Amino acid sequence: MIDLSEIPVAKPAKGSAGKTGTWRVLRPVIRYDKCTRCRLCIMYCVENTIDQEPNLYPKIDYDYCKGCGVCAQVCPTKAIAMVPEVK
Ligand code: SF4
Ligand code: SF4
């Protein structure tokens, strides 16, 4: 199995407007009871803000997630719900 942490992909960083996660209006929330650890959300996240925990479950970095919903769309078990962001 490929260790995704070893793939050289740039991580998002604080920009001139601050942490880009503040733009988000919808928040992806992972239901771990439905997650099969397939890692598709990690591979498809357009911002590379989903990391793989040592237990192989995905973890979203909300400092930089923009709430695009791609992860929820590709999740085969519908384990990711997009919920309104509470500011
Ligand atoms: S909502 Fe978009 S930016 Fe946020 S974790 Fe999912 S794919 Fe990545
Ligand atoms: S795509 Fe869905 S099932 Fe696969 S690791 Fe992500 S949350 Fe879990």
Predicted confidence (pLDDT) per residue in 23-50, tens digit: 899 999 999 999 999 999 999 999 999 9
Environment class of 64 (CB within 10 Å of its CB; exposed 0-12, middle 13-18, buried 19+):
buried
**Using 50, 70 and 90 to split pLDDT, how confident is the model at 18?**
confident
What sign has the CA pseudo-torsion 62, 67, 72, 78?
positive
Pocket test of ligand 1: the residue of 27, 71, 74, 78 to mutate, having most ligand atoms within 8 Å of its CB, is 71
**Does residue 43's CB lie within 6 angstroms of at least one atom of ligand 2?**
no
Note the pLDDT of residue 17. 74
Domain positions in the chain are 28-87
Note the pLDDT of residue 6. 73
Note the pLDDT of residue 72. 98
**Does residue 80's CB lie within 6 angstroms of at least one atom of ligand 1?**
no
Topology classification of domain 28-87: Alpha-Beta Plaits (3.30.70)
**Does residue 22's CB lie within 6 angstroms of at least one atom of ligand 2?**
no
* Of 33 and 9, the one with more pLDDT: 33
Number of Cα atoms under 13 Å in the Cβ half of residue 47: 22
